[in-house]
Structure 1
Amino acid sequence: MYIRPDDLSRFDGLVLEDVIPKHDKVWYKYPNLLKLNKLLLAAILTNMTNGFDGSMLNGLQSVPAWTNYFDHPSGTRLAWMGNAMVLGGVLISPVTPYICDKYGRRKPIFWGCAIIVLGSLFQGLAVSYRMFVLARALIGLGLSLASIAAPLLLVECAYPPQRGQMTSVLEPAWPVGSFFAAITTYLTFKMHDTNWSWRIPSLFQGLFPLIQCILVTYAPESPRWLVSQKRYDEAFSFLVEYHGNGDPDSDLVQFEMAEIAAAIEAEIAAKQSRWSQFFSTSGMKHRFFIVSVISIMAQFSGNGVLSYYLAIVLTNMGITDPNSQLLINLGSTIFTIFTAFTIALQIERIGRRTAFIIGFSTMFLDYMLWTFLSAVNEKLGFQNQGLVRLTVIVMIAYNFFYHFVGPFVPTYVVEVVPFSLRSKTTMYSQLIQAFTLGVSNFINPVGLERWGWRFYSVSIVALALWTILAYTYFPETGGKGLEEIAEIFDGEEALGVYHGHRIELADDEEDNLIRRA
């Protein structure tokens, strides 16, 4: 049965970390954790679709059949091909939080992935520039819906010690999708003089969303969303099965159930789900500032140059052979996969704040060196091949430094805000990122074509600013329970934070928490 809020004396002075059982085996040897993490792949795979798209568009720019079919798109015309996905996402973003709050986290992922599958079919069968762009807008619409729900499902379902890792591997799924796109476009590039060299990668983009549709059908629903819907028995059953290894009397299960219920009921009583709550206290303003700036940082750190316009960058460096460009794209992607997952899995050791400071500062230094080498290469007429290769290495090394930032952005965004604002915050963050990416996608191809390496100075200035902001305003959230993070921003009076005697519930909900599951 559930533990009564007034019968928690054995937990006096404890926090979530104190009641987590000590495991003597690796997590995948525990059936409950193995099952949970396999089903949560339904959320993790979301970013593979995003990564596939960026690398595919990069690769297609080096495929002659694609450039010929669409009349050699460049400048604004090329930018629209990249931005169509952003536009589709922006169109549905305003209603997505309400969909996630009303229907849960699982259903929006399924609906979004189904839309992506449909958009991929239209994209692969496109017979005109307009149809290709509209298909990409449809993919962006579905991806936005799934992408907003995915981190919510991960952070709210993950086993507490694995919360940071599970949410952080969401972003490294991007280079995995990028790898599949790079290898697909490279292999189909060999299909000379046929439009299937670009249609096959375009159709293949629907594979991962199709797998997600299957997985999410069997995935569990967020226990926090279930509590918000007063479905306490289902939330308790989730915690028993996946966090308590089948033991309803587990200290961890009892503690989590009480802490989650206390926090969410307090938020509901305080009507914290309104947008105006972001400006109600200094703690909420701090949260809003963090979410706003980190969403801009994530997409305006020079990463857009390599993600969508690598072909232009390599051409500016004197590497014009399509085969060489595709091989560099593939090699860069493999390196990125390895580094992204390696760093993401170390989040609890590194810490969120430290990772951001390391990432932005090293990207700043990398861009400085990249710019310098590019200037020297241009002065030497790109005749020194050793220097050109060194520049490529420095360029690829940027991906390593970026992954001290990228994996932890979705984690940080969903951690710093309370449950009642989590879906709205995720949507807001995605909308800011989409807007920033959209601006970047218009600026980058034009800037690279007009100014070449000189355009990199924009990223240098931005990265210097991001380093300062991360050092000054980003607190550490690791090592705390999801509900306990509120104390960092709101102090000891944070609503619903458990510290022995401070579990409080609305009067009409207390009886619900002592029913048998």
Structure 2
Amino acid sequence: MQIAYALGYSFAGWLGYACSFMSETSQYAQFAWRFPLAFQCVFPGIFLCGQNFIPLSPRWLLSQRREEEAFQIMCKLHESSDDLNNVRAREEFFLTKKQYEIDSNLPNRWHDLFRTAPNRKRALIGAILMFGNQLLGVYVIGNYGVLIYAQLGQDGSIPLLLNAIWTTITLFGNTWTAFYVDKYGRRTLILIGAIGTFCTCICLCALSAVYLDTTNKAGLKATVFFCFLYIFWWCFFLDATQYVYVSEIFPSHLRSAGVAFSLASFYLASEVTLSVAPIAMDSIGWKFYLVLICPSFFFIIFLFMYLPETKGRTLEEIGTLFGDKNVANQWYGLAEEEKNVIYDQAVSDEKGDAVTAGHTENIEDIGVEESA
């Protein structure tokens, strides 16, 4: 999703730069705004054509009683030359079915998001994460970059060019995140990105305080450099990772409500920062960065203290990090013999065989809990 966002922002930046060369007196002057608007239809059309190539969620298929199709997709997602018998897929599919049996008996109204301590913790972390990320100032620099570069002594079409390059960097950053977020972990990338953007924002504030409204070209160019350093920290570490994180931490039966609540805080913060930014930059100038820096300091402390790592865990296992009791299994950290017990039952279940009482006892001993 974020790669698509980045691609859209990049095209918007370059189209804006290209169309800026069209003369206002030209008979085709309206092309400068009509074509960028019309061009937005291209990529939704591509997505519509390609939607059939996106696999359905195995958990959603289970909710539709399409178990065989869900299992086939699970096998495809775990396909590996080192696992020709789909061992990992069978294990996870078995546990996913167990979790679905539990979740199907749980309430899934939107206000249930706040009824239990684990869910309230999720909602709090999701909302603060998305709200706080906006206080780091990315939308301010991204949306008002042309004005910022103009204040820093760049004239003509250069601010538009710099803005186009700035947005294009996000495409590379989000692509990198897609490949490495599972290797380095969500918490690690979020903390690196938040600390990096925070420190860069401090440098922007200091340089703007000294060189804004001056003719010191070296100082003004250094300030522009830190604008670009900012987007490096944001798009390589924080941008896509935040969406991955909030989509993982909520239980399946409340995921849509939880993600919606988190994104609502994201857009609330966006509206606040984007609405006041042009007025504040005009009124208090460089001091506006302080408005972003001060709350961001406490935001980073919150992330460090309360953000659990979800790397390497299934969606069901993540629930244990928040104190859930209705979790089918804690696969993460099980001994090899315990995993073998689950695999034996998964294969037996897949073949339609009855599960022996001994198997059932073993499974219960290693953490399978089913709701009454």
Give the conservation status (yes or no) of the 8 Å contact 2:320–2:330: no
Aligned to 1:485: 318
Aligned to 1:444: 277
Instruction: Tell me the alpha carbon deviations over residues 343-363 of structure 1, each in whole angstroms, 9 at most, x when there is no partner.
Output: 443222322212222222222
> Structure 1: how far apart are the matches of 2:144 and 2:114?
38
> Structure 1: how far apart are the matches of 2:72 and 2:170?
39
Q: How does 1:166-315 map to 2 (within 5 A)?
A: 170-193=1-24, 194-244=29-79, 249-271=85-107, 273-315=108-150
Q: Which moved more, 1:328-337 or 1:260-269?
A: 328-337
Q: What TM-score, normalized to structure 1?
A: 0.60
> Which 5+ residue runs of structure 2 have no aligned equivalent?
332-337, 343-347, 354-372
Q: What TM-score, normalized to structure 2?
A: 0.82
Shift of the alpha carbon at 1:318? 3.0
The residue identity in structure 1 corresponding to 2:130 is: S
> Structure 2: how far apart are the matches of 1:426 and 1:188?
37
Give the conservation status (yes or no) of the 8 Å contact 1:232–1:513: no
1:474 to 307, 316, 324: 307
Aligned to 1:50: none
> Structure 2: how far apart are the matches of 1:418 and 1:217?
26
Instruction: Tell me the alpha carbon deviations over residues 296-315 of structure 1, each in whole angstroms, 9 at most, x when there is no partner.
Output: 02322111111211122123
The residue identity in structure 2 corresponding to 1:514 is: G
The residue identity in structure 2 corresponding to 1:342 is: W
Give the conservation status (yes or no) of the 8 Å contact 1:316–1:452: no
Aligned to 2:345: none
Shift of the alpha carbon at 1:471? 0.4
Instruction: Tell me the alpha carbon deviations over residues 211-243 of structure 1, each in whole angstroms, 9 at most, x when there is no partner.
Output: 000000343221110111222122123223443
> Structure 2: how far apart are the matches of 1:195 and 1:445?
27
Aligned to 1:402: 234
Structure possessing the higher relative contact order (Cα contacts under 8 Å, 6 or more residues apart): 1
The residue identity in structure 2 corresponding to 1:205 is: Q
| CA RMSD across the alignment | 2.6
> Structure 2: how far apart are the matches of 1:437 and 1:334?
21
Instruction: Tell me the alpha carbon deviations over residues 389-434 of structure 1, each in whole angstroms, 9 at most, x when there is no partner.
Output: 1110011111111232222111110111111111111222222222
The residue identity in structure 1 corresponding to 2:15 is: T
Give the conservation status (yes or no) of the 8 Å contact 2:205–2:287: yes
1:385 aligns with 2:253: no
1:496 aligns with 2:331: no
1:367 to 168, 190, 201: 201
The residue identity in structure 2 corresponding to 1:329 is: N
> Structure 2: how far apart are the matches of 1:399 and 1:463?
16
The residue identity in structure 2 corresponding to 1:250 is: N
> Structure 1: how far apart are the matches of 2:12 and 2:120?
40
Give the conservation status (yes or no) of the 8 Å contact 1:340–1:400: no
Aligned to 1:422: 255
Q: How does 1:2-17 map to 2 (within 5 A)?
A: none
How many residue pairs match? The answer is 335
> Which 5+ residue runs of structure 1 have no aligned equivalent?
1-169, 504-509
Aligned to 2:368: none
The residue identity in structure 2 corresponding to 1:453 is: W
Give the conservation status (yes or no) of the 8 Å contact 1:370–1:391: yes
> Structure 2: how far apart are the matches of 1:343 and 1:512?
35
Q: Give the 3-state SS of the residue equivalent to 2:310 in structure 1.
A: coil
Give the conservation status (yes or no) of the 8 Å contact 1:287–1:416: yes
Structure ID, larger Rg: 2
Q: How does 1:317-336 map to 2 (within 5 A)?
A: 317-319=152-154, 321-336=155-170
Give the conservation status (yes or no) of the 8 Å contact 1:487–1:497: no
> Structure 2: how far apart are the matches of 1:356 and 1:243?
26
Q: Give the 3-state SS of the residue equivalent to 1:192 in structure 2.
A: coil
> Structure 1: how far apart are the matches of 2:80 and 2:349?
26
1:462 aligns with 2:295: yes
> Structure 2: how far apart are the matches of 1:344 and 1:220?
17
Structure 1 residues 415, 513: closer, same or farther in 2, change over 3 A? Answer: farther
> Structure 2: how far apart are the matches of 1:331 and 1:237?
42
Q: Give the 3-state SS of the residue equivalent to 1:346 in structure 2.
A: helix
Q: How does 1:75-94 map to 2 (within 5 A)?
A: none
Structure 1 residues 369, 335: closer, same or farther in 2, change over 3 A? Answer: same
Shift of the alpha carbon at 1:334? 3.1
> Structure 1: how far apart are the matches of 2:351 and 2:186?
34
